[in-house]
Amino acid sequence: MKIKNIILIIVLVLSVVFLVIYLNKKSVEIPFNTNDLPETSDYIGNHTENMKFIDTVLYRGIYDLGIEGVFINVFTLSDEVKINFQRENEMELEAHIVGEDPQYAIYVTDMDRRTSLRILAHELYHLQQYHSKRLIDKGKGIVSWEGNDVDVLSIPYNDRPWEKEAFDNQSTLEKKLIKELY
């Protein structure tokens, strides 16, 4: 009886060890390929703690979208903003961009490299909308979308035309970034 218990304990310990090894292998992040970033007149200041790769994604995406002459600072998204957004929209906020041409701030949640490509592709489309003046934040919950003033809170998040456009186009940029960076 004691031998069976010892064997059972050994099997359980080995199973836990193999599970830990397996899970750690899956969580290893694949770094971007070493490549030269394009020469631009843009500036990106990355002020996040653990996501130093974000500036690479942004430089590459800005170049791919033909945006020039912008200054972007990236910060970690506060818990208070995430909670308020979730309460108002019943969905999780992963990033958002604010600012006025040519100066912007992008706020992001903690994410890995691969996830950043999807999330930042979406925010880069908003940058393009702002930069082209198709989307203008007029303050106090009012934006101008293609020349028409819109009360942001009067339209559900997923029905906002600038959001629809960003969601519709982000996968094209994401795929291009994957090809360029991996």
Which pLDDT tens digit goes with each residue over 35-66?
Answer: 777 788 899 999 999 999 999 999 999 999 99
Residue 152 vs residues 5, 134, 163: alpha-carbon distances, Å: 64, 15, 11
Q: Find how far residue 101's CA is from the centre of its chain.
A: 20
Residue 122 corresponds to which tokens in the numbers above?
Answer: 């979406």
Positions in the chain whose pLDDT score sits under 70: 1, 22-28
Report the distance separating Cα 85 and Cα 74, nearest Å: 19
Residue 67 corresponds to which tokens in the numbers above?
Answer: 């945006």
Q: pTM to 2 decimals?
A: 0.82
E-strand spans in the chain? Answer: 43-46, 71-76, 95-100, 103-108, 135-139, 142-145, 148-151
Tell me what the pLDDT averaged over the chain comes to. Answer: 91
